[in-house]
Amino acid sequence: MATKIMMPKLSDTMEEGVILKWVRKEGEKVKQGETLVEIESDKADMELEAYDSGVLRKIVVPEGGKAAIGALIAVIGDPNEDISGMLADVPLTPGKAVSAEKPKETAPKGAAPAQPPTPATPVQPAGQPGDGRTKASPLAKRLAQDHHVNIAGVQGSGPQGRVIKRDVEGVLSSGSAVPQRTYLAGTSEDVALSPIRKTIAKRMTESKTTAPHFYVTIEADMEPAMTFREQLNAASESKISFTDILIKATASALMRHPQINATYLGDSMKQYHYVHMAVAVALDEGLVTPIIRNCEQKGIAAINADLRDLAERARNRKLKPEEYTGATFTISNLGMYGVEEFVAIINPPEGAILAVGSIVEKPVVKKGAIVIGHTMKMTLSSDHRIIDGAVAARFLQDLKKILENPASLAL
Amino acid sequence: MSTTSAAPKKQHSRLFGLPKETLLDWYDDMLLVRRFEEKCAQLYGMGKIMGFCHLYNGQEAISTGAVKGAITRDDYVITAYRDHGLAISKGVDPKPIMAELLGKVTGTTRGQGGSMHIFDKETNFLGGHAIVGSHIPIAAGAAFASKYKGEKRVCLCFMGDGATNIGAFHEGLNLAALWKLPVVFIIENNRYSMGTSVRRSSAVEELIKKGLGYDLRTEVIDGFNVLEVYTKVKAAVDHARETYEPSLLEIRTYRYRGHSMSDPIHGHYRTKEEVEEQKKYDPISVFAEILKAEKLVDEEWLDEAEKRIKAIVEECVTFAENSPEPPLENLYDVYYKESNGE
Amino acid sequence: MPTVSLREALNQAIDEEMARDERVFLMGEEVAEYNGAYKVSQGLLAKWGPRRIIDTPIAEAGFAGIGIGAAMCGLRPIVEFMTWNFSLVAYDQIANHAAKMYSMTGGHFNVPMVFRGPGGAAHGLGATHSQALESIYAHIPGLKVVMPSTCKDAKGLLKTAIRDENPVIFIESEVMYGDKGEIPEGEYTIPFGVGEVKKEGKDVTLVSWSKVLAHIVWKSVEKLEEELGISIEVIDPRTIKPMDYDLIVESVKKTNRLLIVEEGWPFASVGAQLSDEITRRAFDYLDAPVERVNQEDVPLPYAKALEKHSLPNIDKIRAGLKKVLYID
C-alpha cells in the first residue's frame, strides 16, 4: 500500500524545507524507522525517518529542491503497484511544481517528522485553474506582454487566481524582466522551436557548412569616436549611439571594398555598390535582422532614426518581409553584454559579417607611454570563396581608420 | 339605439351656393380616393405594399366634405392610420403617397413612415398615427399652438369609433373643452373596430354622448352625403374659428373593406349581405346622382372623369415603381434635428 | 459668483429662456397658481401670465400630447411632470410620439420640447413615488436625457434643453431642490454630451450622477478615501444621452478601474450600458471587471431601514470599491 511522504514541519516557524540528501535512493528498500532523507529547515538540518517499510518508489523533490510544508516529496510503496494516482497532483513540467502556497494542513508543532500521510494539497500552478488557462485581467496581460513577462508563470492574487496588475508589477520590480520560469532541478524539458528558431537553425547550418569561413580581428581606438559621438549628440535631437556611428563607418568602408559587400554566385560574385545593412536584434524567440537600406546615402541621424523605428517594430513583431530581407552586409554587436570579442556566422547570401565587442577601458600604449585608453575589437567573418585574408584585412584597416578619424565621414 | 344608418333620402334642393367647379372638384376628389385605395389593395395583394394598409373605401364623403370642403389649406388635419384619403383631400400629392406605400425614398416621409404615417408639413397634414387615440391630445396641442400664436387655424381631429374608449380621448377632449382649443373632433363611426362592434365596446352606442361629459358642442352627421358632411363640419369649424370652442362630431359611415388588408371584409363580425346592402348608399354614387339631378354633369362627363382619375392613379403607380429605395446612409439622417442656431 | 438654490437655478433658466423666446411656455400640474409643487416655477405666473404658465388637470397623457402637438406646430413647450413616476401615464406620448416624430415623418415635423421634473427616491414615499427611470427613456431612440447634479449644471443644461430641436428628458430630484451652489453671472449654457471630472484621483474612476452623486457619493468619498487609503476620481457625465464615454475612457486608462453608482435597478440600467461600453472601449486598461452599485432589484419598500438598505449607500459603495481594487 503506497504512502505519500510530505515535507514535514520541522520548526515552529518553518514554512518550507530544502532536501539536502536522499539517504535512500529510488528503487531501494526502506525499513520503518530508518532515516530516509535529510532536510534543511529554517533553523537546522534535520533527519526524517520513514515510518513505513517499503520501496522508495519515487523521489518527487530531488536533492537541492525546495518544498513547502505539506508538499509531496516522495512515495513509498510496494515494488510493482501502480502509484500514478499518488503522483497525479504533481505536474511534471516546470513552472508549476514547486509552489509557495500555504498548505491546507500542516504537521502539528514540534512533533516527530514521521506523520500519518496527509492528503496532498493540490499543487496549484501559478495562477492557473484546472483547465490550464491563465486567468488574467486585460491590463495584466498587456503589461506582461509589453515587458516580455511570461504571464503563465506569474502567481495571481485576484479571485480564482486571476493575475492582476500588482502581480505583474511585482514580478517586474523584483528585477527580472525576462520570462519567469522555475525549473525542477535535475529534469529536462522539451521546448518547442519557434518558427524563427527553425529558420535560424536551417540557415546557419547552411551557411557554416557551405561557406568556408575565416576570421580576422582588429582592435580600434574608440576615443575619437567617443568624442565624435558627444559632438553629434550636442547637435542632434535624438540620442546618437555608437551603433549608429559604426553602421555609417562600416557602410563607408564597404563602399570602398565592394568585394566584402558581395555575394558568391558560383561562376561569379555580385558586388554591391550600395549598402543595405542588417542589424541583429535579439528577441525571445530568436534573432531578427531588420535592414537599414542605402546606408551609404544616409547621414548618421537618418540611420539612427531608421534603426530606432525598425528595432521597435521588430520587438513588436511588426516588421514587413522587405524589411528583413535583401541585406548586403550584417553587423552583430554583443558589446552590451560585456563581450569583448566573438565570431559570428555569415548570413547567406552575404559574403561577410562583422562581430563587434564592447568598448573596453584598458591600458594602451600611446606615443611610447602606457595610458588609459578605450578600444573595441571587431571580428570579420568572411566567405573564402570570394574574400581572401588580405582583402578582409584591408577592409578592417580602413574601417579602423574611419573609426579613429570619424570626421572623415563628413567627406 | 341602433347604429344602422338610414339611407339618405333627402334631396338637396340647394347646393349651398357652391360653384360648379368646386362640386366637380369634389367629385374628382372622392373618385380619386376610391380608385387610389383600390389600387393599393391590388398592390398589397402583389406584395408591393408591406405591413399594415387600412383602406378608406366607402368613407370618401368625409374626407372630401370635411377636409377638401370645410377647411382651408392653413388648417390642420390629424388622424389615425386610415389616412390615405384624408391626405389626398388635404392636398398632399398622391404620387409621393403611393411612393411611401412602396417604401421609396421619394415617399412623403422618405420611406420612414409607411402607410400609417403619411405626413406633409406644407399642407399642414399632421399624420398618420398608429397608436389608437394618442393623436387626440396632439390635435389639441396643434389647436393650442394656433390660439397661443393668435392665429385662426382650426385643427380637424379624425378618429375611429374604437378610439372613443381609450384614455387619451378623454384627456384630450377634456383639455380642449377646458382650455377652449379650436379643434373639431370627428368620429368616423364605421361601426366596427377591426372585428368588434360599437355595441360590444362602448357603454354608450351614441358616441356623441361622450362629448356631453365635457360639455362639448356635438352633432351626428350622415356620412354618405358629402354635402351634408361639408355643411355640418363647416359649421363646427367656423364656430371653433370664432369662439375657440371645440366640437365633437359623429359621422356615421361604413367601410367596404376589412379593417386592414389583413382583415376579413366580412365574417364573424358582419355579414356579406350587410356589406352589399351598404354599397347601395355608396357616397360617390349618391353624389353623382345629385350632380346629375342638378344637371351639373352627365354620363359622358362621369365616364370621362373615370378615365381622368384612372390616368392619375396610373401616374402614381409609375412614379412609385420607378423611384429608388432609400439608401442605407439615410438610416441616421433623421435621428436628431440639428440646431439652426436660433 | 452668485449662490443660489437648485430650484432658483432652474427657475432662472426657465425665466431667461421665456424672455429670450416667445414660443417657450410652461405647462404642468400646480405650476402656475401653486407656484410649483416644489416651487421651481415660483413667481413665473405673476411675471408671464396664464397664457404662458399653465396649470393642467391631472392628465399626463393629455397634456404631454398637447405639448407634442404644440411643438410640432411651432411652439417650444416645457412640460413638467410632478414626478417622473407619473410620466409613465404619458410614456406612450413620449416614447411613441415625441421620440419618433422627426424620424417617422422623414424630417417633416420635429418636437422641440422639454419634459422635466424630479425623479428617483426621496424619503419614505413608497414604490410608485420613488423610481429612477432614466434608463427606460435613454433606451428609446430620438430622446435626449439630462441629469444635472449641481446648480451650475442645472441652469446651463436646462437652457440648452429648451433650445434643443428635439425632445429632452430632464430629470431633477426633489431632495436636491434646496441644494445651494454657485452659478456664473450672466448668460451661459452647457452643451450636451460633455461630462465633467468633478474630482481628480488616481486609483479608481467612480461615475455617478444627479442625486446619488450630490447626496450619497459626495458624502462618502473623502471618508472612503481615508479608510481605504485610496484616491478616487469622480466623474459626472451630466447628460445620460448623449453620454461622454471618451471622458470616462480617459480616466479608466489612468486608474484601470471603474465603479458606477446609480439609483436605477440592476437590469438594463444606465450603468449596465455604461459598463458594457467602457469594457469594450477600455478593455486592455481594465484590471478588474466594472463594478456597479444599484438599487436592490425590488420595488422600494416604505420602512426606513428597508428603504435605506435598498438604495445605494456608503456600505455598497465601499464594497464596490474594495471589489474593484482587490482589497479584502
Domains of chain C as residue ranges with CATH: 3-182 (3.40.50.970), 196-324 (3.40.50.920)
Q: Looking at chain C, how many residues does it have? A: 328
Residue B170 has pLDDT above 90, yes or no: yes
Mean pLDDT of chain A: 82
User: To the nearest whole percent, how much of chain A has pLDDT over 70?
Assistant: 83
User: To the nearest whole percent, how much of chain B has pLDDT over 70?
Assistant: 95
Chain C residues inside the 8 Å CB shell of B120: 108
B126·C71 Cβ contact <8 A: no
Q: pLDDT value at position A124? A: 36
Q: Which chains touch A (3 or more CB pairs under 8 A)?
A: C
- For residue range A228-259, list pLDDT tens digits in order: 999 988 888 888 888 899 999 999 999 999 99
Residue C52 and residue C89 in contact, taking contact as beta carbons nearer than 8 Å: no
- Confidence tier at A182 by pLDDT (50, 70, 90): low
Residue A77 and residue A57 in contact, taking contact as beta carbons nearer than 8 Å: yes
Q: pLDDT value at position A145? A: 85
Q: pLDDT value at position A107? A: 41
Chain C residues inside the 8 Å CB shell of B131: 92, 96-97
Residue A42 and residue A73 in contact, taking contact as beta carbons nearer than 8 Å: no
Q: What integer is the mean pLDDT of C249-263?
A: 97
Q: pLDDT value at position B76? A: 98
The CA distance from C260 to C280, in Å, is 16
Lowest mean pLDDT among A183-197, A363-377, C182-196, C296-310: A183-197
Residue A112 has pLDDT above 80, yes or no: no
The CA distance from A169 to C80, in Å, is 54
Residue A184 has pLDDT above 90, yes or no: no
The CA distance from A156 to A152, in Å, is 10
The CA distance from A344 to A196, in Å, is 18
User: To the nearest whole percent, how much of chain C has pLDDT over 90?
Assistant: 99
For residue C92, which amino acid is it?
D
- Confidence tier at B13 by pLDDT (50, 70, 90): very low
Q: Which of A158-167, A337-346, C189-198, C298-307 has the highest mean pLDDT?
A: C189-198
Among residues C17, C60, C263, C307, which one is catalytic? C60
Q: Is C97 a catalytic residue?
A: no
C288·A137 Cβ contact <8 A: yes
How far, in Å, are A19, A24, A116, B73, C199 from residue A66 at the CA level? 6, 18, 21, 96, 50
Q: Is C60 a catalytic residue?
A: yes
The CA distance from B197 to A154, in Å, is 76
C104·B112 Cβ contact <8 A: yes
Residue B3 has pLDDT above 60, yes or no: no
Task: Select the residue of C62, C72, C164 nearest B168 (Cβ to Cβ).
Answer: C62
C69·B142 Cβ contact <8 A: yes
Q: Which of A279-283, A337-341, C321-325 has the highest mean pLDDT?
A: C321-325
Lowest mean pLDDT among A88-97, B213-222, C213-222: A88-97
Check CB contact of A169 with chain C, cutoff 8 Å. Answer: no
Q: What integer is the mean pLDDT of B269-293?
A: 94
Q: CA-nearest residue of chain C to B140?
A: C66
Q: Which residues contact C286 (CB under 8 A, 6 or more apart)?
A: A137, A138, A139, C252, C256, C257, C258, C279
Interaxial angle between packed helices A389-404 and A223-235, expressed in degrees from 0 to 180 and rounded to the nearest 10: 50
The CA distance from C147 to C170, in Å, is 6
- For residue range B307-320, list pLDDT tens digits in order: 999 999 999 999 99
The CA distance from A354 to A333, in Å, is 8
- For residue range B41-66, list pLDDT tens digits in order: 999 988 899 889 999 999 999 999 99
Mean pLDDT of chain B: 93
The CA distance from B65 to B230, in Å, is 4
Nearest to B63 by CA among B95, B37, B100, B96: B37
- Confidence tier at C224 by pLDDT (50, 70, 90): very high
Please, what are the domains in chain B? 18-322 (3.40.50.970)
- Confidence tier at B2 by pLDDT (50, 70, 90): very low
B121·C109 Cβ contact <8 A: yes
- Confidence tier at A91 by pLDDT (50, 70, 90): low
CA count, 13 A, side-chain hemisphere, C245: 14
- Output the pTM of the full model: 0.67
Q: Residues 1-40, chain A: which have Cβ within 8 Å of C?
A: none
| Three-class SS state of A198 | helix
- For residue range A388-402, list pLDDT tens digits in order: 999 999 999 999 999
Residue A151 has pLDDT above 90, yes or no: no
How far, in Å, are A204, C102, C313 from residue B127 at the CA level? 81, 12, 48
C285 Cα distance to chain centroid: 28
Nearest to A94 by CA among A150, A145, A39: A150
What string of H, E and C letters represents the secondary structure of B235-304?
A: HHHHHHHHHCCCEEEEEECCCCCCCCCCCCCCCCCCCHHHHHHHHHHCHHHHHHHHHHHCCCCCHHHHHH
Q: pLDDT value at position A365? A: 93
Q: What integer is the mean pLDDT of A161-168?
A: 91
Q: pLDDT value at position A89? A: 58
Distance (Å) from the C-alpha of residue A281 to the closest C-alpha of chain C? Answer: 27
User: To the nearest whole percent, how much of chain C has pLDDT over 70?
Assistant: 100
- Confidence tier at A318 by pLDDT (50, 70, 90): confident
The CA distance from B102 to B50, in Å, is 7
